[in-house]
Structure 1
Amino acid sequence: MKTLEVVNHWYNDSGDAEIVLLKSLDKTRELKNDLFWYSGEERPMWSRGTQLTDSEMLATHCYKQRTFESIEQDIPDDCYMSLD
């Protein structure tokens, strides 16, 4: 069952890192961390709106995760929002 959805994602200017913001599709479940950083070959390259199972998310290997506060606070200046 799909339990997560990609809300947005950002890439750094050199294109070797990706930041992914997820939300829970289950309104009774809150994510402790919803912002995930990936680099190199570990980047999942999901599009906005992609729905995932817990096991699909757990199969990825992020190098950092935290709770999203704001774009200004959490997204580095050298990153841009993907249009897809």
Structure 2
Amino acid sequence: MTRIKIQIPKRCRKEPVISRLTSEHGLTVNITGAMLGAHSYEEGWFDLELHGLPLQVQSALAYLQDLNVKIWGKPNPDGDGW
């Protein structure tokens, strides 16, 4: 399990970012906290627990980076980098 906090950019607000972590990267995702602005121009953040194989987590983190999602937390449970 890996815990991260992400901030989704405004331009991705209507994208199914978290859903894709499950459907395209094979992770089980538990949302432990979230804050979304009342207006569509505000960014939102999520506290997530990612459950899956290290390769699946790495693939999901690379996907988030490609979207320019801000990520806080330990990105790799093995400590090898992303």
Q: Same fold (TM over 0.5)?
A: no
TM-score, normalization by structure 2: 0.32
TM-score, normalization by structure 1: 0.32
- Name the structure with the higher helix share: 2
